[in-house]
Amino acid sequence: MMGGQAVHFCGAYEVPMTSRIRNQHVLVAGGAGFLGSHLCDRLLAEGARVVCLDNLLTGSLANLEGAFCHPHFEFVQADVVSSLPRTLTRRRFDRIYNLACAASPPLYQANPEHTLMTSVLGTKHLLDLAQEKGARFLLSSTSEIYGDPHVHPQPESYWGNVNSTGPRACYDEGKRCAETLSFDFDRAGRGEVRVARIFNTYGPRLSAADGRVVSNLVSQALSQADITVFGDGSQTRSFCYVDDLVGGLMALMEHDGPQPGPINLGNPTELTVRALVDVVLELTGSSSEVIYRPLPTDDPKRRRPDISKAAAVLDWRPTTSLTQGLNATIDWFDAQARSRSAEAPAEVVALSA
Ligand code: NAD
Ligand code: UDP
């Protein structure tokens, strides 16, 4: 699969004839990750031809199992920090989604320089490609650009409170810089840009090893392991289910007309991390103990999106409740754990044979 063009066809697909996205040529950078793989699936279901570009740093080919079955899907393994592979520069693209960047704090802090360059150089390379192809470009920015916010909930007009020298800065400042590049590109008339500021999103395909709160809590609860709460658990977040979020990304990409500016996408239902633990324990029926660990440096105390702009401009709002979304997530993590344990004995036999 290295170098791309690995295409498998596993069955027939019905494509809605009315879809605007039908036959669009779309590049999804970061498409093997949690959000990107769901986006690839949705675009394919709407009739698009999708090329996924990913270095598999935090994503996985397993996330693309369904996409690989589709005749209009291709995978190219490459790092957006480097010049883009020639196989891409020879292609037609109508839309370019840039989702490439590790999003989990422990993972994006593991190699901070690479994280920063992924947002800065990666966005520049993809914007250049968008200009060359005349493609509309969407940047997946983040609520982290608001830092530890002094304004609550956070509207797009808030400029944020980011520590530019702390351990989260490689991500936060990288995304802020990527926003700057994107809006300068748009202002210069080099192409059309859309910027989504994504708030905490969860769902199936979050990696159990990812380190984010929902994946940690659900996998700990299901395995009856201790539940790790960082700090006293009074910090808040607002969690959006992945299907809602992907719908928002696509609505923003397809929004025509003058530059709408950055748009928050997220679910405004806010709760403390400690309250989230209680919901997960209740839904899983787990008897895990809750243990407390130090709060990471610069961990934002409160976060909740003001989504009135998304509602007004895109007519978009999330519809999945936390209970519905967590139940779907728990079912998926449970199925993953069962399939791993079903495979384990065969491996032991093979090793001892
Ligand atoms: P993820 O880590 O699951 O996916 C990121 C993908 O990008 C992975 O497949 C990874 O291998 C790939 N990638 C990383 N660096 C790359 C590079 N240099 N070149 C090529 N590919 C690279 O994370 P996610 O949750 O799916 O997030 C996707 C995007 O959405 C990210 O840009 C993230 O900043 C943004 N976002 C996500 C959330 C969230 O809650 N999930 C919130 C805010 C913003
Ligand atoms: N968190 C926690 N336990 C964990 C993982 C995270 O209490 O096992 C906390 C973390 O300190 C933060 C919140 O949950 O306050 C959300 O963390 P996550 O890494 O998911 O996202 P982010 O901090 O980037 O919003």
Domain residue ranges of the chain, discontinuous segments joined by +: 25-201+242-267+304-318
In percent, how much of the chain has pLDDT > 90?
A: 89
For residue 150, the Cα-to-chain-centroid distance in whole angstroms is 25
The model's pTM: 0.94
Where do we find the tokens 């539940």? 227
- Give the pLDDT score at 344: 61
Q: pLDDT at residue 10 above 60?
A: no
Instruction: List ligand 2's pocket residues with C-beta within 6 A.
Output: 105, 200, 212-213, 216, 228-230, 235, 237, 273, 296, 299
pLDDT at 177 over 80: yes
At residue 199, the pLDDT reads: 98
Q: What is the pLDDT of residue 15?
A: 57
Structure confidence by residue, pLDDT tens digits, 51-105? 999 999 999 999 999 999 999 999 999 999 999 999 998 999 999 999 999 999 9
Digit-coded pLDDT (tens) for 197-221: 999 999 999 999 999 999 999 999 9
> What is the token pair recorded at 191?
């192409």
Residue minimizing CA distance to atom 33 of ligand 1: 103
pLDDT of residue 353: 23
Residues 196 and 206: their CA atoms lie apart, in Å, by 20
Angle formed by the axes of helices 213-222 and 322-352, to 10°?
Answer: 60
> How large is the average pLDDT for residues 319-323?
98
Contacts of 51 (CB under 8 A, 6+ apart): 4, 25, 26, 27, 28, 73, 74, 75, 76, 88, 91, 93
Q: Quick one: pLDDT at residue 8?
A: 41
Fold entry, domain 25-201+242-267+304-318:
Rossmann fold (3.40.50)
For ligand 1, whether the C-beta of 80 sits within 6 Å is yes
Instruction: Retrieve residue 343's tokens.
Output: 């495979």
Q: What is the DSSP string of 27-95?
A: EEETTTSHHHHHHHHHHHHTT-EEEEEE--SS--GGGGHHHHTSTTEEEEE--TTSPPPHHHHTS--SE
- Which candidate, 342, 274, 310, places its Cα nearest to that of 156? 310
Whether 258 has a pLDDT exceeding 90, the answer reads yes
pLDDT over 70 (residue 146): yes
* 172/44 Cα distance (integer angstroms): 31
Cβ contact 186:123 at 8 Å: no
Q: Which residue's alpha carbon is nearest to atom 44 within ligand 1? A: 142
Q: What would the pLDDT profile of 329-351 be if each residue is shown by its tens digit?
A: 999 999 999 988 887 654 433 33
pLDDT band at 11 (very low <50, low <70, confident <90, very high): low
At residue 148, the pLDDT reads 98
**Does residue 101's CB lie within 6 angstroms of at least one atom of ligand 1?**
yes
pLDDT at residue 352 tops 80: no
Q: 147 CA to middle of ligand 1, Å?
A: 18
- Percent of the chain at pLDDT exceeding 70: 92
Query: What pLDDT sits at residue 12?
Result: 52
Ligand number, closest to the Cα atom of 197:
1
pLDDT number for residue 340:
84
Separation of alpha carbons 221 and 288, rounded Å: 6
Kindly give the distance from the C-alpha atom of residue 230 to the centroid of ligand 1, in angstroms, as a whole number. 23
* Count of other CB atoms within 10 angstroms of residue 113: 9
Q: Is the pLDDT assigned to residue 283 strictly greater than 90? A: yes
- Our answer to whether residue 171 is catalytic in this structure is yes
Using 50, 70 and 90 to split pLDDT, how confident is the model at 107? Answer: very high
Kindly report the number of other CB atoms within 10 A of residue 290's CB atom: 15
